[in-house]
Structure 1
């Protein structure tokens, strides 16, 4: 499950345009707002994936 979380995290920071900032300065360079947005989007995507999975079953 951790690999999925990491993959989602990197997809989302790329979409938000934060990949370069994280690459250069590390995760600690993100603001609380940016971190919260990333966490929220990860949660949203995981819920969507769970819904899709349950619909297929």
Structure 2
């Protein structure tokens, strides 16, 4: 666990079902676009704005598909 500014260890927040679904949609989109290796190597912050936007577009499309279907 990482320590906060006060020196007390912080507990990792438990992931909600909605956060888990969103994480899985993002990971699936990154794989679909061939960006997953880049995410694994450098984290989400290692992506360019254009790459992040492409992932966001795929996530939105897939989320709409889940909602409609």
Report the TM-score range of the alignment, normalised by the length of the smaller protein: 0.7 to 0.9
TM-score, normalised by the number of residues in structure 2:
0.70
Shift >2 Å, 4+ stretches: none
The structure with more radius of gyration: 2
CA RMSD across the alignment: 0.8
Residue segments in structure 1 that go unaligned for 5+ positions in a row: 53-57
Matched residues, number? 52
**Higher-RCO chain (CA-CA 8 Å, sequence separation at least 6):** 1
